[in-house]
Amino acid sequence: MAGAGYKATHERSIRDREGFWLEEASRIDWRVKPTTALDASRLPFAQWFPDGQTNLCHNAVDRHLPERGAQSALVYISSETGATRTFTYAQVYREVNRLAGAMKGLGVECGDRVLIYMPMVPEAIFAMLATVRLGAVHSVVFGGFAAASLAARIDDAQPRLIMTADAGMRMGKVIPLKPLLDEALALSAAATPQVVVLDRGLAPDRARVAGRDHDYARLRGIHMNDEIACEWVPSSHPSYILYTSGTTGRPKGVQRDTGGYAVALASSMEYIYDSRPGEAWFCTSDIGWVVGHSYIVYAPLINGSTTILYEGLPMRPDPGVWWKIVQDYRVSGMFSSPTAIRVLKKQDPAWLGRYDLSTLRFLFLAGEPLDEPTSAWISKGLGVPVIDNYWQTETGWPILTAQPGIEDTPRKIGSPSFATYGYELEIRDEQTGAALGAGQKGVLCIVPPLPPGCMSTIWRDDERFISTYFSSFRGAPVYTTFDWATRDEDGYYFILGRTDDVINVAGHRLGTREIEEAVQTHANVAECAVVGVADALKGQVPVAFVVLKDPARAEGALQCSAHAREVQHAVDTHIGAIGRPAQVHFVAALPKTRSGKLLRRSIQALAEGRDPGDLTTLEDPAALEQVREALNPR
Ligand code: ATP
Ligand code: MG
């Protein structure tokens, strides 16, 4: 199909769904080959490859043994502990069989849930693979979550088994996990699961509950020579549950299928990521997030790549650590987030020039709006194109992106380019639901069916799946992304912010993203958040919170107000006075979710004197305090 060009490929993927996706399905192994691509009889519930049977672990591991048994599958690098470990496909196969044997011994069966609450270690990936090998369903919970968030996810997933470790590490500090799990289990109303603890030798607390807690290394020893056959499951069998980031409220348990997901990821590695089997691939996300599920674990392994698992921060031991990895492992494709790049941008740019990055072809960034200065800075520093990916936990792979493996289309600053093949998109008027044309702003929607790889439903809550995503407009239901967007004459999309974040200034509707982009053009701005605050006269006014690269330049009342005026002026020139922030506050950090997304709803609540709401996914409480103090200076 590649070679046909982007437009023709996208058109065919919509017009000839059956033909297109059945061809793509041949990228993976099936126990029973599907004869149809789609069962659309129960939309919006789409079933992909309904009569096919396959297994995710087989496709990620076993399938590669004849050709790639001796090739590195997984390279684990920890700048926290200093460890580096490499596993070939054959070694991953052995480790996964041992663990699958252990899980089976603990009573895990097809359809059971296995909750994985682990740091970024190879055993976490083995646990994911062993789970799907048995046809069980994993629910990975980010290792940075505290007991209450974990308990809520235990109650929702009702796991038979929980995989954990004694501790994680962050900035060289040991963060015990097992005690948090004990606390969560005490809070949880679910039946007591079995627990397997990986002892990394980091935490001194070795308290274990007899009959419930088991030691990973001991079980591994017992099951050393196990060979556990893959459980062949129907394509629509759930592979995992994963919760959204909770930026806009209570997280939703996204349920993913098996066959559609494997096919979507396999195709994406060629069409979007232009990555060839055998090459090294480095995704800096966390296995606790969707980007980690798809692009640290499943996509690169299904593709036969060497995937790099990095435990640590981007600037420790120094801000060159990622680029050294690119050099040492000859990485050809890299996937990160704008947040991480903005962290690096505050450091000395010389770090980018110290290593040989000639193997690198692309940097993909996802998760948040990519502002122009960040994009330009990193693209210049690395000497490779930066590709903005727009997607959601719900979709599992990009909705909007350039697809250089199909055609190297020109990219426009501030735009994640076009609809990914398989996605039929519309921009709809928020009030009337009418489909809008070029240049008009509205809500970005996906016309059903959601393509392969996207969520099949909300875990055990079909009702909420429909009421949350498919009930915004009357008439034919469409999936709402809850993001505000526009498309230009050339078909390029621009994400303007979340629908909750649209500001209405005296009848003019502005996306927070548009104003933030303008603020970011100021040379001393590292990061910013703009929220709409209720105003008696104008309805709402924008208020900006700004993190400076060099805070010293805005010290003292005089410099500070001069800086604020410059920021306002930047908005005046880029958007017009209508978007000018009524106030500009300087803070040292912005409140974010643990996945690095701005918690605008909490900032806005504080700015309007309201309660900041659900903070269970907040990364750093001190950042929210700073916002509070900036608003109410003593
Ligand atoms: P919740 O749905 O629980 O409120 P969340 O939406 O933050 O949480 P995710 O699924 O992790 O959870 O994030 C998806 C959202 O992130 C998108 O809907 C969009 O708002 C934003 N996003 C992701 N990638 C981009 C991008 N490239 N450009 C702009 N926004 C992006
Ligand atoms: Mg969301």
Q: Is the Cβ atom of 495 under 6 angstroms away from ligand 1?
A: yes
What is the model's pLDDT at position 347?
Answer: 86
What is the model's pLDDT at position 554?
Answer: 85
Could you tell me if residue 302 is inside a domain? no
Amino acid at site 436: L
Sheet of 137-140: strand order equals: 213-215, 194-198, 161-165, 113-117, 137-140, 240-243, 253-256, 457-458
What is the model's pLDDT at position 205?
Answer: 81
CATH number of the domain encompassing residue 141 = 3.40.50.980
CA of 598 to the centre of ligand 1 (A): 10
| Beta carbons of 365 and 337 less than 8 angstroms apart | yes
Distance CA 339, CA 388 (A): 13
Q: Looking at ligand 1, which atom is closest to the CA of residue 389? A: 27
Instruction: Provide the pairing of β-strand 240-243 with 45-48.
Output: unpaired
Which residue bears the tokens 């996990």?
Answer: 177
Q: Is the Cβ atom of 498 under 6 angstroms away from ligand 1?
A: yes
Confidence of residue 494 (pLDDT cuts 50, 70, 90): very high
CB atoms within 10 A of CB 289: 24
| Beta carbons of 345 and 374 less than 8 angstroms apart | yes
Could you tell me if residue 294 is inside a domain? no
End position of a domain, from candidates 191, 215, 231:
231
How many CA atoms, within 13 angstroms, populate the side-chain half-sphere of residue 193? 28
Could you tell me if residue 75 is inside a domain? no
Q: 350-400: per-residue pLDDT in tens?
A: 999 999 999 999 999 999 999 989 999 999 999 999 999 999 999 999 999
Distance CA 136, CA 238 (A): 8
Q: Could you give phi then psi for residue 585, rounded to 5 degrees?
A: -110, 135
Can you read off the two tokens belonging to residue 345?
Answer: 């941008």
Q: Per-residue pLDDT averaged across 504-519, rounded?
A: 88
Between the CA of residue 424 and those of 248, 448, 619, what are the distances in Å? Answer: 25, 8, 35
- Candidate of 597, 598, 616 to mutate for ligand 1, largest count of ligand atoms within 8 Å of Cβ: 597
Distance CA 21, CA 36 (A): 9
Q: Per-residue pLDDT averaged across 76-85, rounded?
A: 98
CA of 574 to the centre of ligand 1 (A): 25
What is the model's pLDDT at position 206?
Answer: 83
Burial of 206 (0-12, 13-18, 19+ CB in 10 A): exposed
- CB within 8 Å of 552: residues ≥ 6 apart: none
End position of a domain, from candidates 200, 231, 262:
231
Q: Is 315 helix (H, G, I), strand (E, B) or coil?
A: coil
Q: Is 345 helix (H, G, I), strand (E, B) or coil?
A: helix
Which carries the bigger pLDDT value, residue 215 or residue 558?
215
User: pLDDT at residue 617 above 90?
Assistant: no
Q: Is the Cβ atom of 135 under 6 angstroms away from ligand 1?
A: no
Q: Crossing angle, helix 17-25 and helix 259-271, to 10 degrees?
A: 90
Could you tell me if residue 525 is inside a domain? yes
Q: Could you give phi then psi for residue 170, rounded to 5 degrees?
A: -145, 125
Report which DSSP code applies to 450: P
What is the model's pLDDT at position 557?
Answer: 85
| Beta carbons of 123 and 164 less than 8 angstroms apart | no
Can you read off the two tokens belonging to residue 306?
Answer: 């060497």
- Domain range for 138: 93-231
CA of 491 to the centre of ligand 2 (A): 24
SS (H, E, C) 73-117: EEEEEECCCCCEEEEEHHHHHHHHHHHHHHHHHCCCCCCCEEEEE
Q: Looking at ligand 1, which atom is closest to the CA of residue 390? A: 27
CB atoms within 10 A of CB 435: 15
Report which DSSP code applies to 627: H
In the predicted model, what is the mean pLDDT of the chain?
Answer: 94
| Beta carbons of 200 and 85 less than 8 angstroms apart | no
| Beta carbons of 265 and 296 less than 8 angstroms apart | no
CB atoms within 10 A of CB 104: 17
**DSSP letter string, 447-490:** PSSPPTTS--EETT-HHHHHHHHS-SSSSS--EEEEEEEEE-TT
- Candidate of 272, 390, 619 to mutate for ligand 1, largest count of ligand atoms within 8 Å of Cβ: 390
Cα–Cα–Cα angle for 260, 263, 269, rounded to 5 degrees: 135
CB atoms within 10 A of CB 421: 23
User: pLDDT at residue 2 above 60?
Assistant: no
**CB contact burial 460-469 (16+ within 10 A = b; e otherwise):** eeeeebeebb
What is the model's pLDDT at position 323?
Answer: 98
Could you tell me if residue 583 is inside a domain? yes
Nearest CA to 95 out of 194, 217, 201 is that of: 217
CATH number of the domain encompassing residue 544 = 3.30.300.30
Type and span of the H or E element at 564: helix 557-574
Distance CA 405, CA 543 (A): 41
| Beta carbons of 497 and 248 less than 8 angstroms apart | no
Can you read off the two tokens belonging to residue 122?
Answer: 């190879």
| Beta carbons of 342 and 529 less than 8 angstroms apart | no
What is the model's pLDDT at position 558?
Answer: 86
Q: How many domains would you assign to the chain?
A: 2
Q: Is the Cβ atom of 248 under 6 angstroms away from ligand 1?
A: yes
Length of the chain: 634
CB atoms within 10 A of CB 14: 16
Q: Could you give phi then psi for residue 571, rounded to 5 degrees?
A: -70, -40
| Beta carbons of 367 and 595 less than 8 angstroms apart | yes
Q: Which ligand lies nearest the alpha carbon of 245?
A: 1
Nearest CA to 335 out of 288, 423, 275, 376 is that of: 275
Q: What is the C-alpha end-to-end distance of the chain, expressed in Å?
A: 63
User: How far is C-alpha 2 from the geometric centre of its chain's CA atoms?
Assistant: 26
Q: 207-228: per-residue pLDDT in tens?
A: 999 999 999 999 999 999 999 9
User: pLDDT at residue 615 above 90?
Assistant: no
Q: Which ligand lies nearest the alpha carbon of 593?
A: 1
Q: By alpha-carbon position, which residue is closest to atom 27 of ligand 1?
A: 390
| Beta carbons of 304 and 278 less than 8 angstroms apart | yes
Could you tell me if residue 136 is inside a domain? yes
Distance CA 363, CA 185 (A): 40
Q: 441-467: per-residue pLDDT in tens?
A: 999 999 999 999 999 999 999 999 999
Q: Looking at ligand 1, which atom is closest to the CA of residue 246? A: 3
Can you read off the two tokens belonging to residue 507?
Answer: 């009848």
**CB contact burial 558-572 (16+ within 10 A = b; e otherwise):** eebeebbeebbebbe
CA of 396 to the centre of ligand 2 (A): 12
Q: Could you give phi then psi for residue 160, rounded to 5 degrees?
A: -80, -30
Instruction: Provide the pairing of β-strand 386-389 with 362-366.
Output: parallel
Q: 298-349: per-residue pLDDT in tens?
A: 999 999 999 999 999 999 999 999 999 999 999 999 999 998 999 899 888 8
| Beta carbons of 481 and 443 less than 8 angstroms apart | yes
What is the model's pLDDT at position 502?
Answer: 85
End position of a domain, from candidates 194, 215, 231:
231
Distance CA 595, CA 366 (A): 11
Distance CA 159, CA 181 (A): 13
Q: Per-residue pLDDT averaged across 585-605, rounded?
A: 91
| Beta carbons of 297 and 307 less than 8 angstroms apart | yes
